[in-house]
Structure 1
Amino acid sequence: MSSRSYSLLGLWPVINRWKFLVAAAVALALIISVVVSLSLPNIYKSTAVFYPTNPNTTDPDRIVSDGGKLELGGRAEDLDRVITIGESQTLAELIIRQYKLHEHYKVGAAGDDLADQSALDEFNSNFTIVHNDRDAIEVNFHDRDKVLAAKVANAIVQAIDSINQQLTFENRRKIIDLYQGRKEFLEREYSAAHDSLLAGRRRYGIYGMENESRYLGRAIVETETKLRQAEGEGNSSKAAGYRKALRGLTQADGGNFLNLENYVKGTDQMATVYARFADIQGRLITARNAYETAKLAISGKISSIYVVQKAFPATKKTKPVRWLIVASSVIVTLVLSIILITLLELYRGNLSVGRPGTEPQY
């Protein structure tokens, strides 16, 4: 028993029989699709393009100390990190709050769970971030307001840059605090050492003059010589004066501020104080330089991306494509109508398409 064979040409009598209904369905689809397409708002797309940079080249410490230069990234890890940041909910919520998209999308007041989720879903449906074939990152945003679309696209790029910097330099403030604590500690130690140095100078009369010991020794020798001469001449009053002067030069209780006893006693101690003071002074200068360099580095925000193209308001709409909506609606309606009437004829048993020796029944 041979199986039935069918031909598309055999459908023409069926279509001809139902032509008024098919034409009515197609006309209705045409009218509805035209009305719907004309009622749809124009959607505009704004695009921003940027390259991620290598985070090692944007390290402020290295730039300040070594004079580094900005290098474009393009590495897989840089691209993945930037795209991950762009697709994060943190960034989406930041942009939604910044541009009050709850009101713009008319989803309800911010703070309501359902409204927040609706705004987030609408935002994600209008936003795309992709890695193009030239190793650049494209940020696209669609909206009915072409100016808002450009602003949001640029804000997304800025937010990605800001979050990327925070991830790269998240411990920098802690390092600044360490530098500051070290500097303040050395400042206290420097003040204490300076006070000890002044106290030692006052006590022993040693101020670190270049020829201090030479002057003291010469004064002692000259005074002692004059004393011996006076004693030899038998001038007792003059000898007594020289003896008193010599006592002042050699003994701490002799009345002289600079004397041999205090000088010898204080030399070793003051040498230690001088060494301590010089060491703390050098360390303090280094700590201050490190702190100022680190503070300057963190205060200077170096972009972690290189923007090739900022987003601008679009000059023409992206969607809807109205003629495509109308054409596809008409074609789909026509195809579905043919399928429906064919199934209906088969159900009624009135269709014999392509059977040898038979004609379609009317």
Structure 2
Amino acid sequence: MSASSFSLVGLGPIINRWKSLVGGAVVLAAIISTVVALVLPNVYKSTSVFFPTTPQTSDPDRLLDESTENRRTLELTGRAEDLDRVITIGESQPLAEMIIKKYNLHKHYEIGTPGDDASDNAVLSEFSSNLSIVHNERDAIELTFMDTDKFLAARIANDIVQAIDSMNQQLTYENRRKVLNLYRLRYETISNLYEKNRRALVAARYRKGVFGLEMQGRYLAKEIIRVETELRKAEAGGGGNVTALRRAMHGLTRADGGNVINLENFTNGGDSVSMLADRTNNLQNRLVSAQAAYETATLSIKGQVSSLYVVQKAYPATKKVKPVRWLIVVGSVLITLVLSVVVVSLLELFRHQRQRGEAGS
């Protein structure tokens, strides 16, 4: 004897037989889901869209460099490492804890008190679930935050973007401080060398009587030639005081002659003074360059050049994103209807099997 089958065709009579129970369950589900849907608060989301810039092009040291080959402007980037770095910073725990503390989200989410591990973990989990940072198909980053307060959601989204920018800049801040110290040390070292060399040059000029190599050598030679010519004429009986001319000639040519400017000192000190002068000029040029570099580095490290290019700030939403109340009600009704049909079908199947067993016995 073949066993009788239980098919879906028989669901109609079954549902009709249990219509009171099924209908009551569906009506009850509709009422409960409607109440729940009405009680649920509206949730709004605010989205900020931005591009990261490369650390090199957002470095003020390079932006202030006036050389043509190094002059750069802020460049947008779609490099995977830049995008990953920004997303990692945005999803980091220190940033989350900073926002949670700033807006006292323990109170806002009504979850415990700050300092309790369970409460802190619960608030952090709630915050993370409301935050979304994704890389879209246009190589931009979309940062979205959801909250029941649309104004708070916009403020938090914008603050997270600012925090990402600040932390991104901090990644290079320490190295830039070290570079600034190197600039300062270089400037101070060259300044000390320049001052030491300048004093040595001044002393050498006064000691040797060499104040200007080209002009002084020209006029010294001219004066020696003139005095020597007059001396020769006087010695030949052409008139003039021979003794005075010889004394003048001695003063122009010998260091012990009493003249500050004389040929002996000029010849002996010309090379050393020339070397000191060249060294001083070189140090002066290096000092000017070092001072400019140090001032530029000082200015750049105090500058706040954004490492992000914000295309769209987060604004308070004009439309809620959830809950979709009609969907909650319809979904609850359909699920209840299906479950009710399954339950009554199982009950009918169980009763049918029991009746067959009683008939067989």
TM-score range, shorter chain: 0.7 to 0.9
Counterpart code for 2:99: I
Equivalent in the alignment of 1:340: 343
Equivalent in the alignment of 2:47: 47
Equivalent in the alignment of 1:136: 140
Q: Equivalents in 2 of 1:307, 1:211: separation in Å?
A: 64
Equivalent in the alignment of 2:283: 280
Q: Is the 8 A contact 1:248 1:259 kept in 2?
A: yes
For residues 47-84 of structure 1, what are the alpha-carbon distances to aligned partners after superposition, in whole Å with 9 as ceiling and x for unaligned?
Answer: 11223334454444444333324433223333333322
| Superposition CA RMSD, Å | 3.1
Alignment pair present for 1:38 and 2:38:
yes
**Which of 282, 292, 314 pairs up with 2:317?**
314
* Unpaired segments ≥5 residues, structure 1: none
Q: Is the 8 A contact 1:30 1:326 kept in 2?
A: yes
Equivalent in the alignment of 2:272: 269
Equivalent in the alignment of 1:80: 84
Equivalent in the alignment of 2:292: 289
Equivalent in the alignment of 1:260: 263
Q: Is the 8 A contact 1:345 1:351 kept in 2?
A: no
Counterpart code for 1:128: S
Q: Is the 8 A contact 1:206 1:266 kept in 2?
A: yes
Q: Equivalents in 2 of 1:81, 1:56: separation in Å?
A: 14
Q: Equivalents in 2 of 1:209, 1:271: separation in Å?
A: 8
Equivalent in the alignment of 1:91: 95
**Which of 158, 168, 193 pairs up with 1:154?**
158
SS across alignment from 1:211: helix
Q: CA deviation at 1:196?
A: 0.7
Equivalent in the alignment of 1:29: 29
* Unpaired segments ≥5 residues, structure 2: none
SS across alignment from 1:339: helix
Q: 1:76 to 1:202 in 2, by over 3 A?
A: same
- Bigger Cα displacement from structure 2, 244-253 vs 189-198: 244-253
Which aligned pairs between 1:104-119 and structure 2 lie closer than 5 A?
104-119=108-123
SS across alignment from 1:67: coil
Q: Equivalents in 2 of 1:25, 1:336: separation in Å?
A: 10
SS across alignment from 2:322: coil
Q: Equivalents in 1 of 2:155, 2:295: separation in Å?
A: 37
Q: Equivalents in 2 of 1:210, 1:103: separation in Å?
A: 84
TM-score relative to the length of structure 2: 0.84
Q: Equivalents in 1 of 2:128, 2:232: separation in Å?
A: 106
- Bigger Cα displacement from structure 2, 269-278 vs 195-204: 269-278
Equivalent in the alignment of 2:186: 182
TM-score relative to the length of structure 1: 0.84
**Which of 177, 186, 211 pairs up with 1:207?**
211
For residues 287-334 of structure 1, what are the alpha-carbon distances to aligned partners after superposition, in whole Å with 9 as ceiling and x for unaligned?
Answer: 233334444444444433332222110011111111222222222223
Q: Is the 8 A contact 2:213 2:274 kept in 1?
A: no
Q: CA deviation at 1:352?
A: 7.7
For residues 238-280 of structure 1, what are the alpha-carbon distances to aligned partners after superposition, in whole Å with 9 as ceiling and x for unaligned?
Answer: 5544444444333333332222232222112112211221221
For residues 123-164 of structure 1, what are the alpha-carbon distances to aligned partners after superposition, in whole Å with 9 as ceiling and x for unaligned?
Answer: 101011112233322111100110111111122222223333
SS across alignment from 1:307: strand
Equivalent in the alignment of 2:126: 122
Q: Is the 8 A contact 1:126 1:143 kept in 2?
A: yes
Counterpart code for 2:111: V
Equivalent in the alignment of 1:2: 2
Q: Equivalents in 2 of 1:116, 1:243: separation in Å?
A: 103
Q: Equivalents in 2 of 1:204, 1:71: separation in Å?
A: 59
Q: Equivalents in 2 of 1:169, 1:351: separation in Å?
A: 80
Q: Equivalents in 2 of 1:314, 1:352: separation in Å?
A: 62
- Bigger Cα displacement from structure 2, 166-175 vs 124-133: 166-175
- Bigger Cα displacement from structure 2, 107-116 vs 32-41: 107-116
Q: 1:352 to 1:310 in 2, by over 3 A?
A: farther
Counterpart code for 1:68: R
Q: Equivalents in 2 of 1:267, 1:165: separation in Å?
A: 55
Counterpart code for 2:306: S
SS across alignment from 1:110: coil
Counterpart code for 2:289: T
Q: Is the 8 A contact 1:131 1:137 kept in 2?
A: yes
